[in-house]
Structure 1
């Protein structure tokens, strides 16, 4: 518990990184709509409502709370009226075919072809997508802002509705243009290193545009007529304040305000004029979630008698501590604390490129839940980089691996690791040179202060053991925090018994995280990310999980009571 500060931090990053990566993957895999993927069904009939699969989740199965997961991803609406609205929005007479894209975790998307040959995309949010009205209204305004102010190729919206009860469709929807090009996922692995670096250079330029704009408040972006904005709501473009009557700042729409039942909470959702207010509201939100919602089953770490067991009272106590030290955690660098709008889900199915010139980005889709928050809280790195390691200690490229004596499989793995590492280093070099504010945000994201802020944002699901351990360690460096002075004492006292208990909790949580890593390694492509697996792999996945579960129980459970406890915490059905 009393390792040197640099060693403690690297240890923290090593243990918390799987949780950070799991959270990021939960965004990227969950929202995939892959608008150029093979359709589930092509239909040319006139009564579209007879196709039951349009309304249900058909992409695969769940191994965690399947009934509930399917229920929250089924939505009934009038497809005939949706097709009619789509046709009218672009001046066509009628829709002649509908293709359903593979389900996203929060939305359904359809490719509609009109009698005049034009194709458009229709998107309908599932019940779990977010707070009614605000989620759709914010997504539409954000796409418009991205395209017209941030010079980003976001889809153009032809028509939309954010009040389900007010329209014959009976659901919220967005009718938008189909992005040109092909998903980056179709070509990324085939691109040569110089081509990949050109894609990254284009992404760097886009992020530079995003960095050129900050906002007066933290929250979500809307059209002014869809919310009641604060009187001084505005944005700043290249240093100049813009009081635009078209756009306004309203309630937050990020996934951490929605997931695991949070959308049902009666809480303050912003906007907020200061970072301290915003972070305090996060603590209040997590407190109410813990007090009023059922704790979700956890797959970021396994729990049980010899591991860590979630504790409601500890969670609430920690949030009280968090709210006492928020101001001390906030960095003084205003460039990384200003409210910024960002696309946090830059995986390779959300980015479209020119098939004849794949270095050219032609479209970025899926702006749902993009929100205005401090730069340091946004994901700086595109998911298509496939970087799961710790932050590199230097920006030096790694040398080519020695492939002599390796099997073909080993050579392939070594070359892949070398490529991924150096592409990521190339990305960091571009960021350092072109977007230094973003690079400084990355630096802050590798500090204990950011770790505490991040864990507080997800305290309802997990994080209390890691939070306690980080907080105890912070006593040694409290005076080094930018917001602190030497005469402000560390506000908590931990006895030796407290420290020992916290160490046991932390060790148990680390062991649970490492167990998940081992299970994922054993399952490989059978691992059910976010509890989801495709139909064709469901039986094999379920059988493999049952075998692994039996192994874990045989190894850890010494009594029938302990076995029952492990069974209770086991997340998979």
Structure 2
């Protein structure tokens, strides 16, 4: 394994002047320009050989991959070298190998068409749920809704998903072309040297997938707060803490603004994908379909309801293949109230920790304190087996010397 040269950006980002931050932002755009310059013949994982053996207990499966055909304005010599050296193999995402899925005969790619990739996780989950899903007891604290527990709810929703799956991806071949893309460009994964990006780490989760399913604002430049490009008229009269907050908002606003200007100029296809009309409406069902049982059914349900709602806006001139009744919509709204409260909570603590558990080094203690306090609240409100189960499931947050 090669050591990443340079200094971790996370350690210095907050102290850098705006000009240096803009330079690094432009380096990110240059990296994205390189990634978007080539696409591949199939969506799936990259591999270094044409045949892969996967050992799983007593099971050893020989899997044939396909040559990695590079598509784009690339010299023929480079294309030939890539085909000789690399292959597109089956996906290695955890969702395809978790629990009994590891020994199931399911389609893991590589897929001939992006649409085949879109339907694959639903077919995988249908097969797993029908064979292995066991409902939790009704008094289990982890049962988040009435729709979450019965396997039949998931099976019905997955069948609905499969009816619209062929239409979710846009028809534009450039937008759905498989690209190798780094989807986690934040300060902890970037190293800098002499004011420029010297290396990027954490590529192990990358795979060749449709561009529209991967391209997004890099986390380093993403910002969803109030956009402030100029200091307010009363800036000089503000208290020091208020001034610091405004400066931070201005810095983030300017970087995001210039990033979007830069990609519009340098990487127009990326700009198109990020701004794609109803892009989230199309992509969210694909993002949510793979873990309704292990996570939550409501996001997939919500995303499919939106598909029906905006079907005509998506450009189709025929009726939507799925329909939700008024009773189903009412139940979803009722169950979604608690789910929305959870989302609001994550939004409120996003400056400390993200939904996937990532927190910057300087916020680690804050995140630990937050979850310690939440755990104490939970323990005080529970009794008996429920409390013991919760205590055991959350004991990772205990600091040395606590009980």
CA pair 310-347 structure 1, distance change in 2 beyond 3 A:
farther
Q: Distance in 1 between matches of 2:347 and 2:72?
A: 44
Q: Secondary structure at the match of 1:349?
A: helix
Q: CA deviation at 1:226?
A: 4.5
1:411 to partner: Cα distance: 2.1
Is 1:209 aligned to residue 38 of structure 2? Answer: no
**Which residue is 2:399 aligned to?**
none
Give 5+ residue unaligned stretches, structure 1: 1-175, 555-559
Q: How much does 1:513 deviate?
A: 2.3
Q: TM-score, normalised by structure 2?
A: 0.77
Alpha-carbon deviation of 1:543?
4.3
1:251 alignment counterpart: 90
- DSSP 3-state at the match of 1:273: coil
Look up the SS of the partner of 1:529 in the other structure.
coil
Equivalent residue, structure 2, for 1:572: 394
Larger displacement relative to structure 2 (539-548 or 437-446): 539-548
Taking the aligned partners of 2:359 and 2:256, their CA distance within structure 1 comes to 28
Q: Tell me if structure 1 keeps the 8 A contact 2:353–2:359.
A: no
8 A Cα contact 1:219 1:272, kept in partner: yes
The residue number in structure 2 matching 1:338 is 177
Q: Is the 8 A contact 2:67 2:86 kept in 1?
A: no
Cα offset, 1:375, TM superposition: 0.7
**Is 1:447–2:269 an aligned residue pair?**
no
Tell me, in whole angstroms, the C-alpha distance in 2 between the residues paired with 1:196 and 1:204: 13
Contact 1:208–1:435 under 8 Å retained in 2 = yes
- Tell me the CA shift for residue 271 of structure 1: 0.5
Alignment partner of 1:437 out of 245, 269, 278:
269
- Structure having the higher helix fraction is 2
In 2, Cα distance between equivalents of 1:353 and 1:535: 23
For residues 255 and 272 of structure 2, what CA distance do their matches in structure 1 show? 20
SS of aligned partner of 1:447: helix
CA contact 1:215–1:235 (8 Å) conserved in 2: yes
TM-score (norm 1): 0.56
**Aligned residue number for residue 156 of structure 1:** none
How many angstroms does 1:473 deviate by? 3.8
SS in 1 for 2:43: coil
Say if 2:207 is the partner of 1:368. no
1:489 aligned to which of 297, 319, 327:
319
Unaligned runs of 5+ in 2: 53-62, 396-403
Counterpart in 1 of 2:378?
549
The answer to whether the 8 A contact 1:397-1:425 is kept is no
Aligned 8 A contact 1:308 1:512 in 2 = no
What residue in structure 2 maps to residue 271 of structure 1? 110
Equivalents in 2 of 1:526, 1:275: separation in Å? 29
User: Which residue of structure 2 lines up, in the alignment, with residue 511 of structure 1?
Assistant: 341
The count of aligned residue pairs is 374
Give the Å deviation of 1:287: 2.9
Deviation at 1:213, TM superposition (A): 0.9
Calculate the aligned-residue CA RMSD, in Å. 4.1
Query: For the structure 1 residues 460 and 405, does the alpha-carbon distance in structure 2 shift closer, same or farther, using more than 3 Å as the test?
Result: farther
d(CA) in 2 for partners of 1:182, 1:264: 42
1:407-439 Cα distance to aligned partner (Å, 9 max, x none):
322222222122112212221221122111112
Q: Where does residue 196 of structure 1 map in the other structure?
A: 21
Query: Cα distance, 1:525 vs. partner?
Result: 7.4
